[in-house]
A and B are shown apart, each in its own frame.
Chain A
Amino acid sequence: MSSLPAGILPLDLQQTNNLQAAVSGLTPLQLQWVSGYAAGLAAAGERADTPAGVPAATVANAGDERLTVLYGSQTGNGEALARTLVGQAKAKGFAAEAVSLADYKPSKLKRESLVSFVISTHGEGDPPDDAELFREFLLSDNAPPLKHLKYSVLALGDSSYVNFCQTGREFDSRLNELGAERIEALQECDLDYDEAASGWTRRIVEALPDLLATGEASVAPLLRAVTTVSEFDKSNPFPAEVLVNQKITGGSSSKDVRHIELSIEGSRLRYEPGDSLAVIVENPPPLVAELLTELKLDGDSIVTVRDKRLTLVDALTKTMEITSVSLGFLREWSAMSGDAGLKSMLEANDPQALSAFIDGYQIIDVVRQFPAAVDAHQFVATLRRLSPRSYSIASSLAANPDEVHLTVAAVRYEAFGRKHWGAASTHLADRLAPGDRVAVYVERNSRFRLPEASAPVIMIGPGTGVAPFRAFLQHRVEAGANGENWLFFGDRNFDSDFLYQLEWQRYRKQGQLQRFDVAFSRDQRRKVYVQDRIRENAAELNRWIDKGAYIYVCGDAKRMASDVNDALIDVLATENGLDRAAAEQKLKALRSAGRYQRDVY
């Protein structure tokens, strides 16, 4: 190989030189191996070697002509979409980079010229943890004028929450207020975001030639991968075999929590502790049957979903969301049913009332209470696409080669005089037996990663939120990590709901789990939660933080995460003699340093 053509590469001069030095003198066979190696690295994305809390390679010359894609999301979805946009932009020869909002200095924004945001919203309108500090800056009075900035926002959300896409909306309107120029209307995406997101991505990429004056029209890739590292993803999920479907709550429990083990043998799927597994699910057949009966529709009638023709029963079982109610559905149903009460509720637009309604009703309940005559087509048109559900992975690949373990709480309850089911959880719990297959892919979560081996780790995971900490402990034990581990767990009843009790006991006996605190809310008159245990252990917890502990929280976003957050602030305040604001600052600093990571949903 002589010299590399400069200028047309997605590499700067320094990188070009490094690459040349690295490959000079290699035999053709070695070069071929390096080519495959590099392709593998690319396919594996960030996971390879980037430790948590270390910012991804920072941009050399901010302000250069390039597209910066800033993402923030609780799951890996935002990151994946950002990387797709960057990949397509680069393929067209434009400089582009994806950066997590957690790693992005807000003050740099005024030197950017073109930014796309991919930003999700959680629960009742909360920003993802990644984006909290950035959002605070952006909405504050300190935010600078951004007249030179061109921007676009892709907002991810779940329309069964009233403050749907709230963070994206805030970003979009605030940037506009600050004088930035919107190049593309705010794109809101529901759980079934594929179509909307790819449309947005395409439009941005198509607009790039007018926005960025750089690059040649086309670039011939210099190195072509000789081996393709197949990575299963949303469009190409892996059919994993169910190995175990075991109830792990005791007989008297009010809950049915399953430990599910899946085989990923032969898939080359790889994951790290902290990652999630997305599961392609189907709806409960009795619910589909009930809907058909209620609507007096024929399951065999043919409908078209995204240009595909299929039977109504298949559409309702496999492709459409038929459990949770979205605002969009509610509006359309209100119009079709002509129900006055529904109409006035929607017009009143009281977020609390709407939230309460959406939380309490499933689609079948709406259909029943507010009857409307619809045909198969009309009905399907009111529905969102059924989206994959993700679960924090409960196993370490190192400890369980070729397996993924999940901890799934089966959602079943009685309301409005009928049985209700959670689609995904009952798909896993009730409808999959060992030997069956379920389509899955890995969702990376680079914002939820173990620290270096020697750092102490504090894990707070009540309920099924304990899942990733099973993975963490397995991984640390397997890797011989010598950092101390402290787990906070909570649930309803000690006797029946102590998930993975025998495993924690074994870790403790073997000296791998140094501290363990539990809170079982219903075992005594006064309810006790993990946040109470955190406060009770304030002094020790603070000592751990002082000696460099990383704090992880996983589980319910609605209440637990903020209760725990408050408790941590209290700990920092009381133990360090700080007022609340200062303690909050200290916790934020921990978060910025990657020492307070959350996976809440």
Chain B
Amino acid sequence: MSDLDLTEVERIKAASRHLRGTLAESLNDPLTGAIADPDTQVSKFHGIYQQDDRDIRSERTRQKLEPAYSFMIRARIPGGLLTTSQWLGMDRIATQHANRTIRLTTRQAIQFHGVIKRNLRETVADINRSTLDTIAACGDVNRNVMSPPLPALSSVHRQVQACAEALSEHLMPKTRAYHEIWLDGKKLDSSEREIEPIYGDTYLPRKFKAAFVIPPQNDVDVFAQDLGFITIIRDGKIAGFNVTVGGGMGMTHGETDTYPRLADVMGFIGPENLLAVAEAVVMTQRDYGDRSNRKHARLKYTIEDRGIDWFRGEVERRSSVKFSAAEKFAFVANGDVYGWLRDDVGAWHYGLFIENGRVGDFGERRLLSGLRAIAERHDTEFRLTPNQNLIVSKVADKAKAEIEALLIEYGIENSVHASRLRLNSMACVAFPTCGLAMAESERYLPALIDKLDAMLAGLGLADEPITIRMTGCPNGCARPYIAEIGLVGKGPGRYTVFLGAGFAGERLGAPVLDNANEAEVLETLQPLFTDFAAQRDEGEHFGDFLVRTGTVREVRAGRQIHER
């Protein structure tokens, strides 16, 4: 590929000297709260996104002030597993440097919003002091590795969690840039040659997402991942993995050659081959992914263009691992498990609903303070879930009542606030901080759910679990294309509505409304809910119902999603 065909981001990566760019200089520039344009790409690899308060962007321009820049910092937390002392560290950072909230992400990570440039170094250092880091939490590399929180089976959880941590470690960039810029400031000795053994000098063509899943719960949405491992458990031990490749959510409005895609199952491997196969998948994508067009650079397009058989062959050749036929598996749901649950070794877990993952103090509902109180007083662990919730884990018998009391004291117990629809909802951040947002998401979905709840209650569907997810843009952070009701922002107050996805994340939804406002969304859903209440089969889910009755077209492959 000639240099001219490369995207701007590819050129920036190549010139960045292994992710250094001019970040250090940018941080020291007192004239602006921003970093230099090329550095905004480089910083992502360090888990740091430049954003600005879009609510006041035009007001600031009139005031002859630059946008109110701040940074989103994402911590890398494989499998979302945190000790309480790590949580308390995150709490301090949120309180001191960010906007007094902790945002749990759809990839079991933590985001801080509103960190201003002059506090960036201190914030990253504080994260490091909490024994966490932000390396590769964003950027064209392997992002946070997901793994199910699995409260019911602690012995299995431990094993799969270890795999997730090993994979995360193995696929980390090896550059010292992170330490150099954010922590010790020590420059690389010029005689040392720094090598990125897996990624090379320009890293991957695009972001790369990996996850482990343990059937029958598909809480991580394994089919939305570039690389997935469906864990096959036998006799309480990992027997191996069905490897999935080529899932991904992002698309662009109006460009039908971009589409969300569910992953293909490539075959089965033994646990000993995990890292070799993962590395081969990454390196194949590194070498064959499209670096001339970022909208066509994800692994899903590489596989779509070249075929899964070619891809399997390439991975087998590189890893010297032969895939065997996939083992049987079945998924029942892609949501989370809530409330108290006792695991196989006798410990208690409380699945706590956190609306849209936003942990803060909101009036009576004091999530930040409540979780702080629990973390300070009880030796538990916190598991962040793939649906932006949190599990207070490993609670001893004697502590259960006290924690229950704290949940009530801080007004954060699930039953207080959540309908079934709400418990199965997710929204991305969108306005005011996300630079990609075209419509509201986190700030709007709760109000829309209020209206839908009223509708469902009137039809006797109040206890029906229906998945609903909203994003402010089509990139799909909250995985809206695999929610039974998916709303994808297109403009202020306007959404493309996807219906008919599988309740377990096994089928994409089809677009049924374009550029719809709230009234149109409600008008469309009302009769569908009514029919569903009247005509559904026993135990049938809303998405399945719509497809079975032909109300909504069944989307069998991502590339067909735009067909009419």
Chain A positions within 8 Å of B, measured between CB atoms, are: 246-251, 259, 494-496, 498-505, 508, 516-518, 523-524
Contacts and interface: CB of A to CB of B under 8 A. Distances in A.
Given A504-B31, A505-B31, A495 B68 contact: yes
A249 B63 contact: yes
Q: Is the interface of B mostly helix, strand, loop or mixed?
A: loop
Nearest to A503: B64
Given A495-B68, A502-B65, A523 B59 contact: no
A249 B32 CA distance: 15
Contacts of A499: 64
Contacts of B60: 250
Interface string B47-65: 0000000001001111111
B118 interface: yes
Contacts of A496: 65
Q: Is the interface of A mostly helix, strand, loop or mixed?
A: mixed
A250 B63 contact: yes
Nearest to B59: A251
Nearest to B69: A495
B33 interface: yes
A505 B118 contact: no
A250 B68 contact: yes
Contacts of A508: 31
Nearest to A498: B65
B116 interface: yes
Contacts of A524: 118
Given A249-B63, A250-B60, A495-B116, A505 B68 contact: no
B66 interface: yes
Q: Which of A246, A248, A259, A498 has the most CB of B within 10 A?
A: A498
Contacts of A495: 33, 68, 116
Nearest to A487: B31
A517 B30 contact: yes
Contacts of A247: 63
Interface of B: 30-33, 56, 59-66, 68, 116, 118
Given A251-B56, A251-B59, A523-B118, A500 B64 contact: yes
A432 B31 CA distance: 32
26 contacts: A250-B60, A250-B68, A251-B56, A251-B59, A259-B64, A494-B30, A495-B33, A495-B116, A496-B65, A498-B65, A498-B66, A500-B64, A501-B32, A501-B64, A501-B65, A502-B61, A502-B65, A504-B31, A505-B32, A505-B66, A508-B31, A516-B30, A517-B30, A518-B30, A523-B118, A524-B118
Contacts of B64: 246, 248, 259, 499-503
Contacts of A504: 31
Contact of A246 (B33, B56, B63): B63
B33 A494 contact: yes
A518 B31 CA distance: 7
A516 B31 contact: yes
Nearest to A504: B31
Contacts of B63: 246-250
Nearest to A244: B62
Given A494-B33, A505-B32, A516-B30, 5 more contacts: A494-B118, A495-B33, A502-B61, A502-B65, A503-B64
Q: Which of A249, A251, A503 has the most CB of B within 10 A?
A: A251
Task: List 10 A-B pairs, minimum CB-CB distance, nearest first.
Answer: A248-B63, A518-B30, A502-B64, A501-B65, A248-B64, A500-B64, A516-B31, A501-B66, A250-B65, A502-B66
A248 B59 CA distance: 9
B474 to A, nearest CB: 31
A247 B65 CA distance: 11
Nearest to B30: A518
B140 to A, nearest CB: 28
A503 B68 CA distance: 16
Nearest to B67: A502
Nearest to A246: B62
